[in-house]
Structure 1
Amino acid sequence: WNVDFPHLMLRAKAQKFKNEGARLRDRVLTSTDTVFGMTAIPVVDVTVNALNKNATFRTLFEKSFGVHREAPVPEFHSKTLRKRVKPMIKSIEPKAVGSTTGKVALYATCYGNYNSPTIGEDFVKVFQHNNIHIDIVPKEKCCGMPKLELGDLDTVEALKNANIPVLAKLVDEGYDLIAPIPSCVLMYKQELPLLFPNDPDVIKVQKAFFDPFEYLWLRHKGGELNTEFPNALGDIAYQVACHLRVQNIGIKTRDILHLVPGTVVTAQERCSGHDGTYAVKEETYDKAVKIARPVVRKVDEQQADHFSSDCPMAASHIAKLSDSTEKPKHPMTLVCMAYGL
């Protein structure tokens, strides 16, 4: 009975991709570096964002390309996270606490860089507020999770070969590693080490990669987290992202938010149904909605002050279906609010 079902399915996807390939839509949707980079060009980003809000265009796009007209799609920003963060960086003398060095490099991720750059800004603010030196990873490609889900293992390896040397060098320079998207953290903590167990640099990066709230909790345990929060957050409905749960680190996001006085966090440990592209495709959107319904129902019943999830895509999917919440807030944004930053 000890069957790793998710990885069994990934092996099946890899075999199917090897034998049959994939349709153009799926290749495009999983080519995040290329697609996001093109749509984040100045003027192009504004145009794409406007089209994605146009019902007529979305109907035509569904018929021609197979992206469901009701599926929430992210906004694109020409002023990316990498551009925004560079002027924010300041030198802080790192202080090691437990397994943390107090010196981190932020792996921006495709989504964090192009779609939700303000989340990364909040990361920098919170980490600097806690006297943690934070830099941006100097260059990066997609982590490879979308291609892994497609079964395209050759591209996963190519992306690994582009990213791992950069990240391993940072680890050699004393950096710990974090990322704003749970799927990307999981890729480096679990998926790449499973695929490339004999690559010493992959293992080096794995050992230095942390979920961001796991990192803050480790600092808190060592007495180095600033717990002076001037602003209460009230009632928070919090969906625990699947790719966060499988890291087996506990619900550290909830634990950090619980440190804020006047704050109650209700965690929903159920799948959002998004799964990267599953909630976007025409043929699976309705199934994704059905999977999300139990979480949506709980969120609507709670009538919380804030709705949050570590995964922005899951959060947007749930919020779109909810009657009680319009715009979700990332947990790090909530911490920023609590600090008054």
Structure 2
Amino acid sequence: MREGSLDAPIRHTIDWNDPDFYDEAKLDAELRRVFDICHGCRRCFNLCDSFPRLFDLIDAAPTEELDSVESKDFKPVVDACTLCDMCFLTKCPYVPPHEFNLDFPHLMLRYRAIEHKKGLRGGMEAQLTKTDRNGKLGTSLAGLANWATRRENGLTRGVMQSVAGVHKDAELPPFAGKTLLEMAKDMPKADPKGPAAGQKAVIYATCYGNYNTPEIGEAAMKILAKNGVDCEVVYPECCGMPQMEQGDISTVAGKAKNVAKALRPYIDKGYDVIALVPSCALMLKFEWPLIVPDDADVKALSEASHDVSEYIVALAKNKGLAEGMSPLDGPIAIHVACHARAQNMGQKGAELARLIPDTRIAAVERCSGHGGSWGIMKDNFEVGMKVGKPVFKQMQMKAKAKYVASECPLAGLHIAQGITANPDIPADGDNSGEAAKPELAAHPVVLLAKSYGLM
């Protein structure tokens, strides 16, 4: 039997419609099979908190083996998984086609799906996943909503922690006063003399890009227009990643079908599809085809989809970019987000930033500790800050950064908070002991647009 596999990883479809998927005895048997292999390997000890929790659980058991661990004690291991996919794609030697056939993230998803079916996942945390409802309300009352969610607002944040379980010290994303769909009406038209003139793309706004950081879509549209790409913005609904984190696979499947159906006419007309947030690009490209494998629209969308960084870097390589970029006024530190890495496309966020002339770029490829909505919760925030501390340190010390950005805007907020909250992370060579305060950009594409003078 081989130690690891030399073949490229493959993923099986998620059999969430099969009754056996929800059989708790069969789930327990599979958890024990997988956990025993992980216990004997331990390569993933430094990826997230799931694996230290698992290994500590086994080490503290009477026999120091999995056979003396009670199944009820598995839950903290499952709850620590953020579905980042890094164990599957970067560490585990036993993923399919290896005969051990491990897929740790999707096993954690199965556990949560059973919890969801039993009604054990809900309450206020489930309300936080309703991003379209929350986004529409938040943008319509942006001033009030942003006042209430500010970290400095001790009155409201204390209530949020008590009622919704959101940690009072976690930085929360602000709501925009104007959605990307509204802003898109005033975006410039494609330059007919641009190097990519005639190329067409439809931007899938994503819930975060539409309601919270429309500047990502604004930057992308202005860059693409300057380079001749004719763009439209479409936003049927959220991709369902928040529901997937809760194990609500049927809702994810419905969203996949709806969004794919809405985007299919553009694909048939030759448009490329661009997703603004890596988690959403991952869903379109890889997760949806595993959840609804027989849907032709989902398959077509998967094949036509691009992450925004990936798309612009490919444009630069294949067509060249329009002139007019200038150096920025300081170095940039780019965080390569886990869901960007999970797309297996390389460090496209860093490659995008390196298109900016005469500007020093440093890339940091490690988990920020945020994990979507996971990192803002009362039970997880301090763990997330601990997991992210190596990133906070590298982002500042490697780059002496004037600007920091992550392809994942939520991770960017977390990183900026982590840097400023840790006075023991000075810039490289700086012994002042004062916390660094770099400027946060919502995404590397915003810095490229800034270089063009478009923002």
Give 1:226 shift: 2.4
Change (3 A) 1:93 1:6: farther
Matched, 1:328 2:328: no
RMSD across aligned C-alpha pairs, in angstroms? 2.0
What does residue range 153-302 of structure 1 map to in structure 2 within 5 Å? 153-226=249-322, 228-232=324-328, 234-302=330-398
Asked whether the 8 Å contact 1:62–1:68 carries over to 2, the reply is yes
Give 1:212 shift: 1.3
Flag the structure with more relative contact order, 1 or 2, with Cα contacts below 8 A and sequence separation at least 6.
1
Alignment partners' CA distance in 2, 1:91 and 1:294 = 42
Structure-1 residue corresponding to 2:185: 86
Alignment partners' CA distance in 2, 1:65 and 1:121 = 32
Change (3 A) 1:238 1:91: closer
Asked whether the 8 Å contact 2:124–2:163 carries over to 1, the reply is no
Change (3 A) 1:13 1:93: farther
Give 1:130 shift: 1.2
Alignment partners' CA distance in 1, 2:360 and 2:411 = 21
Alignment partners' CA distance in 1, 2:329 and 2:293 = 43
Amino acid in the other structure paired with 2:343: Q
Unaligned segments of structure 1, at least 5 residues: none
Alignment partners' CA distance in 1, 2:416 and 2:131 = 23
Q: Secondary structure at the match of 1:279?
A: helix
Structure-2 residue corresponding to 1:340: 453
Unaligned segments of structure 2, at least 5 residues: 1-93, 96-101, 421-435
What does residue range 82-161 of structure 1 map to in structure 2 within 5 Å? 82-90=181-189, 102-137=199-234, 139-161=235-257
TM-score, normalised via structure 2 length: 0.70
Give 1:168 shift: 1.2
Amino acid in the other structure paired with 2:182: K
Asked whether the 8 Å contact 1:89–1:134 carries over to 2, the reply is no
Asked whether the 8 Å contact 1:233–1:262 carries over to 2, the reply is no
Give 1:178 shift: 0.6
Change (3 A) 1:129 1:91: closer
Amino acid in the other structure paired with 1:216: I
Q: Secondary structure at the match of 2:276?
A: coil
Amino acid in the other structure paired with 2:410: M
TM-score, normalised via structure 1 length: 0.93
Amino acid in the other structure paired with 2:187: M
Give 1:64 shift: 2.0
Give 1:201 shift: 1.0
What are the superposed Cα offsets for residues 267-304 of structure 1, whole Å, 9 maximum, x if unpaired? 11111111111111111111111111110111232321
Identity %: 36
Alignment partners' CA distance in 2, 1:4 and 1:105 = 33
Instruction: Identify which range, 4-13 or 273-282, moves more after superposition.
Output: 4-13
Give 1:218 shift: 1.7
What are the superposed Cα offsets for residues 146-193 of structure 1, whole Å, 9 maximum, x if unpaired? 111110012112212321111111101211111211101111001001
Asked whether the 8 Å contact 2:209–2:216 carries over to 1, the reply is yes
Asked whether the 8 Å contact 1:32–1:110 carries over to 2, the reply is yes
Alignment partners' CA distance in 2, 1:91 and 1:84 = 16
Structure-1 residue corresponding to 2:425: none
Instruction: Identify which range, 4-13 or 246-255, moves more after superposition.
Output: 4-13
Amino acid in the other structure paired with 1:7: H
What are the superposed Cα offsets for residues 217-238 of structure 1, whole Å, 9 maximum, x if unpaired? 2222223322542234541111
Change (3 A) 1:232 1:58: closer
What are the superposed Cα offsets for residues 236-288 of structure 1, whole Å, 9 maximum, x if unpaired? 11110100001011112212322322112111111111111111111111111
Structure-2 residue corresponding to 1:318: 415
Give 1:94 shift: 10
Alignment partners' CA distance in 1, 2:236 and 2:199 = 22
What are the superposed Cα offsets for residues 36-80 of structure 1, whole Å, 9 maximum, x if unpaired? 111221xx2211111112112111221122110011111112311
Asked whether the 8 Å contact 1:94–1:101 carries over to 2, the reply is no
Alignment partners' CA distance in 2, 1:295 and 1:249 = 21
Which runs of structure 1 show a deviation greater than 4 angstroms over 4 or more consecutive aligned residues? 91-97
What are the superposed Cα offsets for residues 95-132 of structure 1, whole Å, 9 maximum, x if unpaired? 997xx982110111111111111221111111111111
Alignment partners' CA distance in 2, 1:59 and 1:327 = 28
What does residue range 30-45 of structure 1 map to in structure 2 within 5 Å? 30-41=129-140, 44-45=141-142
Change (3 A) 1:133 1:17: same
Change (3 A) 1:251 1:277: same
